[in-house]
A and B are shown apart, each in its own frame.
Chain A
Amino acid sequence: MAQLTEHLSKGLLERFKVPIGTGELVNSSASARAAAARAASPVAVKAQIPVGSRGRAGAIIRAESPMDAGAAFDIVTGIRMDGLQAHEARIEPWQRILDELYMAVSFDSTLQAPVLLFNPFGGADLESHPESLRIMAIPVDHEVSFAYVREHADLSGLASAATDSLATIARDLIHAFFALEARMIELNPLGQLEDGEWIALDARIVLDDNALFRHPDLQGLVGAMSPRRAEDIVRETTRLEFVPLDGSIAVISGGAGMTMAVMDLIADRGASAACFLDCSADVTPRGYRAALDLVLSIPRITSILVSVFGGLTRVDRVASTFIDLLAGTPVELPLTFRLMGTNLQEADDILASAGLDNHHVLEAAVEAAVRSGQQSREGSS
């Protein structure tokens, strides 16, 4: 799931005529000062990190002068959110806002359909007014027109001029959603200026990684984006599903559900997983090589658990792959195997011939991994 920065999101939305105001991307305090001088002060200095709630974290600052904008750049790019730090900021004229709304297009799991979401309470007020959220299912068998949105979206409580403007924005947002094959597009807030016009003060697009093959331009944008989450980079280069966590037991696993089950079992035994690492999309020697390198790059790990319940994945191949890998890269840390599923007997034999145990019972494997982790920590301290 490639979540884009505000600047990239707004750049894409501009193509679909969604009003995004003006703004300039800067990468130093000097360029921030220059950009602020070109815009009329005051300006907003906004860290470009692909996460929500930047305002609350102090990653958006109002600067009264170009000089202040330079200082603000240093502050907002020094803030770390979700482990990410901005290298760039977007400088925008500070807008006086009469009203703030929330508008988004996303997929609704319950309806199994794309939906237009609208909340008259936008910005920081959104979370305190979930009851005001209005949902319009988006038809997929015909193009969504202005008239359709005007008729079906609940935009009540607004002046009719505002309703017309918002229906136009909603229509364009829906077109962008389908054209980009987005997972989600969110404008929060959508603000009304003193002249009555509405603009997206913030914008967030989440693209579908799986659809990027049809959109080379978007693939280029995502690849060049900075900063990016470790898991997104890993997925792009290796097809492994990797999420770093804060524990010490590294889990190399297959299948999302079993990986989570193993994480939960590790917690039941008082330890915690160092990562979520699902290798099922690449069960080749290259994939497991990358997986082993990834977990060995986590400094605090004390133990490695290889847990694969193979269906399509034949676990005898997993066993022989690991034996080859370990022959090439001796691993000092304790390594526990729990291979089950297709070709189990062969896997048992392969591990046994290398002097390795295969724990058939998952709980026993987790117990062994946690215990050996404690021992390796004690041994090294």
Chain B
Amino acid sequence: MSAVVDRMTRVVVQGLTGRQATWSSQDMGAYGTRLVAGVVPGKGGQIHLGIPLFDRVDDAVRATGANAALAYVPASVAAHAVVEALEAGLPLVIYPGDGLPIHDALRLRNLALSVGSSFVGPNTPGVISPGESKLGFMPSYCFTRGSLGVVTKSGSLSYEVCLRLTQAGIGQSTVIGIGGDPIKGTTMREALALLHRDPETSAILVLGEIGGVDEYDACAYAQEPDAKPLGAFLVGRTAPRGRKLGHAGALIDSDRSGFEAKVAALELAHVPVAATLAEVVPIAAQLCAGGQHR
């Protein structure tokens, strides 16, 4: 059992018949992800990509035993879709889309916490356990099976870094995209806890950026006595203060959310921080070899 998803994960795709959902579902199916149902209101009873469609998530769960949902729906109706999936009792719901209103993110986070489910997103490519299953649209060839867990605020940066790791022979156990929004279904702290408990993860790489305070969770984790070896790479060193860069949370609005403060805090917590992209692979290799500078 991997940290979040594995071969046993049975996925219902909300909005399966959409253009991007169709493309991504074919891609996930080819990767080996078990797609058991689609939910598209008004299309219940039909078949798409060989997958049965249902009007409602609870119908899909009853009929197929789905245990995870991936919501490929527009941001304006995302809250409704995620609430439906959580209320159907699914233990894992992923919303990869961007543009989710922050007050919706807050409600969804709190609902997931209250029903004891995991909500991942918004604004993330999803979650992949290489060789097992992927719930999301990350390019498969960037990833290979291994023991390095990765938590990332940025999807695109995780592709770049994981491709380099894969080419260097450093495989990944689970890559969790937590997204770059300020209110998250799964935070850095929660994602690190999942990887900490995962027996297949022996070391952890955090991909961070300016804005927010998520990277301080990595500092706190690294200082726990039984922490797994942890390294980090951050982007946005050249970002101007006070301007939002793409991600809703990528905004330097205090000294603490800036690049230098985060790097300094990580170094103080003895977390090796790659100074450039090229340094990520050697640091990851060291982490996986069990060695961390202390």
Where the two chains meet, the residues of A that have a C-beta atom closer than 8 Å to any C-beta of B are: 1, 82, 107, 109-110, 112-114, 140-141, 178, 181, 183, 208, 210-211, 213-214, 231, 241, 243, 245, 254-261, 263-268, 272-273, 276, 278, 280-281, 309-312, 340-342, 362-363
The reply to whether B245 and A178 contact each other, CB–CB distance below 8 Å, is no
* B209 contacts A243, C-beta separation under 8 Å: no
List 9 A-B pairs, Cβ < 8 Å.
Answer: A110-B213, A140-B110, A243-B245, A256-B156, A258-B156, A261-B160, A263-B236, A272-B238, A280-B156
Quick check: is B265 within 8 A (CB to CB) of the other chain?
Answer: no
Instruction: Report Cα–Cα, A273/B240, bound state, in Å.
Output: 11
A214 to B76 Cα, complex, angstroms = 9
Write the nearest CB–CB distance from B135 to chain A, whole angstroms.
13
Q: Decide: B106 and A109 in contact? CB cutoff 8 A.
A: no
Assuming the contacts A257-B157, A261-B277, asked whether A276 and B183 have C-beta atoms less than 8 A apart, the reply is: no
The 8 Å CB contact of A109, one of B20, B98, B249, B276, is: B249
Contact A341 B159 (CB under 8 A): yes
Which chain B residue has the least Cβ–Cβ distance from A360? Answer: B163
CB distance from B115 to the nearest CB of A (A): 13
**Pair B102/A211 contact, Cβ less than 8 Å:** yes
Instruction: Closest B residue to A363 by CB, please name it.
Output: B278
A183 to B240, CA, bound (A): 20
Chain B's nearest CB lies how many Å from the CB of A288? 16
Known: A256-B180, A257-B153, A340-B163. A264 touches B103 (CB 8 A): no
Select B125's contact among A109, A140, A141, A311, beta carbons within 8 Å. A311
Q: Which residues of A contact B104 (CB under 8 A)?
A: 211
CB closest chain-B residue, reference A261: B235
Closest residue of A by beta carbon distance from B104: A211
Taken together as a complex, chains A and B put the C-alpha atoms of A209 and B160 apart, in Å, by: 29
Task: Assess the B238–A241 pair: CB atoms within 8 A.
Answer: no
B213 CB to nearest chain A CB (Å): 5
Given contacts A260-B239, A273-B238, A340-B160, contact A311 B155 (CB under 8 A): yes
Of A211, A263, A311, which contacts B239 at CB under 8 A? A263
Q: Give, as a whole number of angstroms, the nearest-CB distance from B273 to chain A.
A: 13
Verify A267–B160 contact, CB threshold 8 A. Answer: no
The one of B24, B152, B237 that contacts A267, using a Cβ cutoff of 8 Å: B237
Contacting pair A309 B156 (CB below 8 A): yes
Check A281 against B99 for contact (C-beta < 8 Å). Answer: yes
Task: Kindly state the separation between the CA atoms of A267 and B259 in the bound complex, as whole angstroms.
Answer: 14
A12 to B24, CA, bound (A): 43
Residue of B nearest to A258 (CB): B156
- Of all chain A residues, the one with the shortest Cβ separation from B163 is A340
Contacts of B184 in A (CB 8 A): 112
In the complex formed, the residue of A with least CB distance to B110 is A140
Contact residue among B110, B156, B216, B276 (Cβ-Cβ distance under 8 Å from A311) = B156
Could you tell me if A112 and B156 are in contact, using CB atoms closer than 8 angstroms?
no
Q: Which residue in chain B gives the minimum CB-CB distance to A312?
A: B137
Give Cα distance in the complex from A245 to B187, angstroms: 30
Does A210 contact B237, Cβ atoms closer than 8 Å? no
B101 touches A241 (CB 8 A): no
- Residue from B109, B125, B137 within 8 A of A112 (CB atoms): B109
| Cβ-defined contact, B159 with A256, below 8 A | no
Say if the beta carbon of B247 comes within 8 Å of chain A.
yes
User: Is B245 within 8 A of A241, CB to CB?
Assistant: yes
Residue of A181, A213, A258 touching B76 (CB-CB under 8 A): A213
Docked CA distance A342–B20 (Å): 13
The reply on B242 being an interface residue by CB < 8 A is yes
- Closest Cβ of chain A to B262, distance in Å, is 13
Q: Are B106 and A113 in contact (CB under 8 A)?
A: yes
How many Å from the CB of A116 to the closest CB on chain B? Answer: 15
Q: In the bound complex, how far is the Cα of B161 from the Cα of A203, in angstroms?
A: 43
Of A112, A243, A257, A341, which one neighbours B235 at CB under 8 angstroms?
Answer: A257
B138 touches which of A114, A208, A210, A311 (Cβ 8 Å):
A311
B156 touching A255 by the CB < 8 A rule? yes
For A362, the chain B residues whose CB sits under 8 A away are 160, 277
B106 proximity list for chain A (CB < 8 A): 107, 112-114, 140
Which residues of chain A are within 8 angstroms of B243 by Cβ–Cβ distance? Answer: 231, 243, 276
Per a CB cutoff under 8 Å, which of A112, A114, A259, A310 touches B245?
A: A259
A256-B246 contact given A211-B103, A263-B239, CB 8 Å threshold? yes
Are A181's CB and B103's CB within 8 A?
Answer: yes
Q: Kindly list chain B residues whose C-beta atoms are within 8 Å of the C-beta of A140.
A: 106-107, 110
Bound Cα distance from A340 to B138, whole angstroms: 12
B32 in the interface (beta carbon within 8 A): no
When A112-B187, A312-B137 are in contact, do A210 and B100 touch as well, CB less than 8 Å?
yes
Which of chain A's residues have a CB closer than 8 A to the CB of B207? 257
Check A258/B236 contact, CB under 8 A, given A208-B102, A268-B276, A311-B139.
Answer: no
* A residues less than 8 Å from B245 (CB atoms): 241, 243, 256, 259-260, 276, 278
Of the candidates A1, A113, A310, A312, the one whose C-beta lies within 8 Å of that of B20 is: A312
A363 to B164, CA, bound (A): 12
**In whole angstroms, what is the CA distance A208 to B246 when docked?**
14
What B residues does A231 contact at CB under 8 A? Answer: 243-244
Instruction: Check B103–A208 contact: CB distance below 8 A.
Output: yes
Contact (Cβ within 8 A) B212 A109: yes
Residue contact B102 to A107, C-beta cutoff 8 Å:
yes
B154 touches A255 (CB 8 A): yes
Q: Is A311 within 8 A of B238, CB to CB?
A: no
Interface presence of B90 (CB below 8 A): no
Instruction: Rank and list the top 10 A-B pairs by shortest CB-CB distance, nearest first.
Output: A257-B154, A255-B156, A256-B246, A257-B157, A258-B156, A211-B101, A260-B235, A278-B246, A312-B137, A241-B246
Among B101, B139, B180, which residue has its beta carbon within 8 angstroms of that of A257?
Answer: B180
1/0 contact string of B251-282 vs chain A (CB within 8 Å): 10000000000000000000000001110000
